[in-house]
Amino acid sequence: MNKRLLLLPGDGIGPEVIAQAEKVLRTLVTAGDLPCIDITTGLIGGCAIDMHGTPLPDDTLAMAQHADAVLLGAVGAPQYDNLPNDKKPELGLLSLRQAMGVFANLRPAICHSALVHSSSLKPDLVAGLDILIVRELIGGIYFGQPRGIIEENGERVGINTMRYAEHEIIRLGRAAFAAARRRQGRLCSVEKANVLEVGMLWRDVMTVLGRDEFPDIELSHMYADNAAMQLVRAPKQFDVIATGNLFGDVLSDAAAMLTGSIGMLPSASLDDKGRGLYEPVHGSAPDIAGQDKANPLAAILSVEMMLRYSLNASVAADKVSAAVRQTLNDNYRTADIAGDGDSIIGCAAMGQKVLDYL
C-alpha cells in the first residue's frame, strides 16, 4: 500500500516553503528514488479558523490520524493575536501533536560548512557540528497536574508540576537510543538528578534501558545546567542528547542558534510506530510572508527527516541532504543566510536550485 502523506501548509510563509518541499517529494517519486506516495492537503491554524471557525478542523485531524507522516509549514498571524487562547491558531498545532501522540521531538543542529560564519560561535567550534536533541514533547512540567495560580496567605502562588512516569521515560529513551544507533552511537541523557526526584528516576531508568536494550550505545549523563554550558563551550562533544520537555525546550533553542539561521532548522516529532509530524522550527514569519523571501531549506530538510524516520527511504534522504549541501556550497543564499556581498535569491529560486541538484 502506498504511504500516506498529509501536507498542512498553514499560515504566513508556511504555504511558500511547503510548496518547495512538495516539489522535492514529487521529484524523488518521478525519478524513482521513492515509491508512489498518496499526498493530500489540509487546513490548520489561521486559515482553518477563517474557513471553519476552528484551528484544527475534524477532517484535518482525521486525515492526520490516518497518515504515515504529516508535513506542516507554520501557523499563526497577527490578526489572530487577540483571540482567546483556546481559539488561537497555535492551539491547532498543540492539539495535533497531542492527538497524534508524538512524544519524541527530534531537533538536529547541523552547521553546514558553507555557513560557519553565520553562527554566533567561533568557526572552529561549530565547523562540522552535527548533533541531535531528542526532547520529550507531551509530558513533564508543561502538562503535569496540579497546575494553576491560587490564593494563599493573601498572595497569589503559581504552581506547576514536573512528573514523569517510567513508561514515558522508557519510550523517549528508546527513540533516543535508536537515533544514536543510526548516528555515532553516543547518547547523553540530561536531567537535574542532583536536585529533582524526577531527574533521579530519569537517570535510573535510562541507565537500565541502556544496559538491557542498547549495550552497544555509549551512554553518559549530564546535569541540565552543565549541558547548557557545554553546548556553547564545546558543542561538538555531543552526538545525541535525550532530555525532558522543559530542559529540551531551552537546550534545543540554544543549539539552534549555533547553526546560524532559523530558516535552516527542521524537526521531527515521532510516535512509537514511526509515524511522525515534520515541521520547520520557524514560525509563520508574517514580516516576510507573501514576498518570496522565505528560506525553504528548513522545510526541505524536514522532508529529509521524514524520508529517514517515517518513509524508510534513507537513500532518498541522503540525496536531499546532498542537494541542500551543494546548493549552499555553490553560494546560493536567501536573505536570512546571506553574508556581505552575497547575491540573494528568493524562496522559489532556492527551492529550484535544490531540485536542479537532485
Binding range to ligand NAD, per CB under 6 A, among 94-102, 135-143, 172-180, 284-292 = 284-292
Query: Which one of residues 42, 55, 76, 199 is an interface residue with ligand NAD (CB under 6 A)?
Result: 76
Map the footprint of ligand NAD across residues 296-335, applying CB under 6 A. Answer: 298
Residue 231 found at the interface with ligand NAD (CB under 6 A) = no
Residue 295 found at the interface with ligand NAD (CB under 6 A) = yes
Binding mask 169-198 for ligand NAD (x = CB under 6 A): ------------------------------
With cell 507573501, the residue in question is 290
- Cα(110)–Cα(157) distance, integer angstroms: 41
* 8 Å CB contact between 270 and 325: no
Q: At closest approach, how far in Å is the CB of 29 from ligand NAD?
A: 25
Binding range to ligand NAD, per CB under 6 A, among 193-201, 221-229, 280-288, 320-328 = 280-288
Buried-exposed string 185-221: b where 16+ CB fall within 10 A, e elsewhere: eebbbbbbbeeeebbebbbebbeebbeeebeebebeb
Map the footprint of ligand NAD across residues 5-34, applying CB under 6 A. Answer: 13, 17
Q: At closest approach, how far in Å is the CB of 11 from ligand NAD?
A: 8
| CB nearer ligand NAD, residue 103 or residue 214 | 103
Tell me the three cell numbers of residue 86: 483556546
Task: Give the residue numbers marked as catalytic.
Answer: 142, 192, 225, 249, 253
DSSP 297-337: HHHHHHHHHHHHHTS--HHHHHHHHHHHHHHHHTT-B-GGG
* 8 Å CB contact between 162 and 202: no
Query: Which one of residues 37, 65, 90, 181 is an interface residue with ligand NAD (CB under 6 A)?
Result: 90
Query: Which one of residues 37, 141, 262, 344 is an interface residue with ligand NAD (CB under 6 A)?
Result: 262
Q: Give CA separation, 336 vs 88, 101, 294, 297, in Å.
A: 28, 33, 8, 11
- Cα(162)–Cα(143) distance, integer angstroms: 8
Residue 246 found at the interface with ligand NAD (CB under 6 A) = no
Residue 285 found at the interface with ligand NAD (CB under 6 A) = yes
The letter for the amino acid at 138 is I
DSSP 181-202: HHTTSEEEEEE-TTT-HHHHHH
| CB nearer ligand NAD, residue 125 or residue 335 | 335
Q: At closest approach, how far in Å is the CB of 24 from ligand NAD?
A: 15
Tell me the three cell numbers of residue 312: 524508510
The answer to whether 174 is a known ligand-binding residue is no
Binding range to ligand NAD, per CB under 6 A, among 68-76, 108-116, 124-132, 191-199 = 68-76
| CB nearer ligand NAD, residue 201 or residue 254 | 254
* 8 Å CB contact between 114 and 329: yes
**Long-range contacts (CB closer than 8 Å, 24 or more residues apart) made by 54-62:** 54/87, 54/92, 55/87, 55/88, 55/89, 55/90, 55/91, 55/92, 55/93, 55/95, 56/91, 56/92, 56/95, 56/96, 56/99, 60/8, 60/92, 60/96, 61/95, 61/96, 61/99
Residue 205 found at the interface with ligand NAD (CB under 6 A) = no
Query: Which one of residues 243, 284, 302, 310 is an interface residue with ligand NAD (CB under 6 A)?
Result: 284
Q: What is residue 354's three-state secondary structure?
A: helix
- Number of residues binding to ligand NAD, judged by CB under 6 A: 22
φ, ψ at 312 (rounded to 5°): 55, 45
Query: Which one of residues 282, 319, 333, 353 is an interface residue with ligand NAD (CB under 6 A)?
Result: 282
Binding range to ligand NAD, per CB under 6 A, among 69-77, 136-144, 229-237, 243-251 = 69-77
Residue 253 found at the interface with ligand NAD (CB under 6 A) = no
Query: Which one of residues 43, 47, 48, 93 is an interface residue with ligand NAD (CB under 6 A)?
Result: 93
- Cα(270)–Cα(102) distance, integer angstroms: 5
Residue numbers in the known binding site are 97, 107, 135, 225, 249, 253, 283-295
> Interface residues with ligand NAD (CB under 6 A)?
13, 17, 74-77, 90, 93, 262-263, 279, 282-288, 294-295, 298, 336
